[in-house]
Structure 1
Amino acid sequence: MSSGDLGRDTDNPRRPGATPAGPGPTLPDAVRRGRGRRPAQQVRTDILDAAGRLLLAEGMAAFTIERVAAIAGTSKMTIYKWWPSKGALALEGYASKVDDMLAVPDTGDIEADLTTQLLTYVRLLRDTPAGRVVAELIGEAQTDPELVKAFRRVYADPRRAVGRAALQTAQRRGQVRADVNLDTLMEQLWGACLYRLMARADLLTDDFARDLVRNVMGGVRCDRS
C-alpha cells in the first residue's frame, strides 16, 4: 500500500483485476456505502465489525473472507493487506466484540472483582455464541500458524495485561502475597474456564466460577492461615 493509499479506501469494485467480494450474505446486513472513498481506518473498522458480527452469528463454518468483504463493502484484496489468514481476521473480529465485556472491575476487593469478571467470562462462553466461536478458533489454530500468532498478539497478551494489572494492584494493597507468580495464577483462573469449555461445557457454571476464585484466592491471599 502506498503512502497515498493510507488515508482513503483503496477498494474500487470497477478497478480492473479487483477480486469480486462474492454474493452478499444474508446475516448480518452489508454496510451501506455512500459516495466517495472511506478513510483507511474506517475501512478497517468496518471489516472488523463485519468479521465479529458474522462470526458470532454463524460461527467459523460460515466464516469466509468473501462474506466479510461483502458485508464490509470492501474487497478480498484489501482484507489480505491487513490480515494474512481467515483465522487471524476471525480472531481479531471476535476480540473487537468481547474485549469491553471482559474488563476487571476495581472495587478495592480483588476476590470480589475476580469473581465478577470470571462470572462475566463464564456466562459469555456458556450463554452466547462466543463459547462456540472460541472453541472453533482453538481448533482452527491447530493448522493455522498465523492464527496462533494473532491469538497471542490480539487476545491472549492484552487479556493477560489486564489481569496482571489488577493482580499487581492487589499485591500493592496487601491482598495477594508478593511471592505469587501472577502468570501461573492467571492460568489457574482463566485457563480452567477454557479447559472446562472444551472438555465439560455442561459444567461451566456460575458456581464453578465462584468456587474457582475462592479456591485460588485461599492459596494466595496475604491473610491466609
Structure 2
Amino acid sequence: MAAIAARAGVTEELLATRWPSRSALLIDAFRREIGAEFLLADSGDFHADLRSQLTAVAKVFTDPSISPHLTALIAEMQHDPEVSGTFGERVFGPNRFMARARFESARKSGQIRDDIDIDTAIDLTFAPLWFRLLLPTGPITPDYAAEVADLSVAALGRS
C-alpha cells in the first residue's frame, strides 16, 4: 500500500480511508479495468448475447495481466471474510443482478423455459469458465466459451 500511495502522490492514511486493504484496492481496480467486459447486453437475442458475454469473460480470464490476480483474490476470499464480502458487494452482487435481469428478460420473451430456476441457470452458464480458471482442467478459449453458451441455451430453451 505504501508503494501505491507514493506512486499516487497521497498518504497511506488517505489511501486506507478508501481501501482498507490491498484486496479492496485490487477489487476496485479489477472492476474499473474490466467492468465493461462483464456487462450482459440485451439485444433481444439471448443466445447471441450469451455467446458474446461468455466470449468476453473468456478473454478476461486468459489475460495474463488479470487472471493471476483474480485467482489470487479468489484464493484469499476463502480465508478472509472481509475480502469475500467486498468482492460480493462490489463485483459478484452487481454482476449477478445484471445476469438475473437478462435471464428474466429471456424468460419473459420465451427464449428460455418458464420452469427454470434463474439462479441455477446462471450457475450452469457461468460456472464452466470459472471452473477452468480456478482448476485449469483445459484452456479457456473463445470457442470453448461459445460452446458453453450453445449448450446452456440448449439446456434452458423450450423443449
Q: Please, what TM-score do these two structures have when normalized by structure 2?
A: 0.92
Which runs of at least 4 in structure 1 moved beyond 4 Å after TM superposition? none
Secondary structure, aligned partner of 1:180: coil
Give how far 1:143 is off.
3.1
Distance 1:116 1:165 in 2: 16
Amino acid aligned to 1:218: A
Residue 139 of structure 2 is matched in structure 1 by 203
Residue 117 of structure 2 is matched in structure 1 by 181
Distance 1:81 1:201 in 2: 40
Bigger-Rg structure (1/2): 1
Distance 1:210 1:176 in 2: 17
Q: 1:148 aligns with which of 84, 94, 113?
A: 84
Unaligned runs of 5+ in 2: none
Distance 1:202 1:127 in 2: 15
Give how far 1:91 is off.
1.1
The structure in which a higher percent of residues are helix is 2
Residue 35 of structure 1 is matched in structure 2 by none
List per-residue Cα deviations over 1:58-111 (Å, max 9, x = no partner): xxxxxxx11221222211111222223221221122112111122112221101
Q: Which structure is higher in RCO with an 8 Å CA cutoff and minimum separation 6?
A: 2
Amino acid aligned to 2:92: A
Secondary structure, aligned partner of 2:74: helix
When the two structures are aligned, how many residues end up with a matched partner?
Answer: 159
Q: 2:28 aligns with which of 79, 83, 92?
A: 92
Q: Please, what TM-score do these two structures have when normalized by structure 1?
A: 0.66
Unaligned runs of 5+ in 1: 1-64
Distance 1:166 1:153 in 2: 19
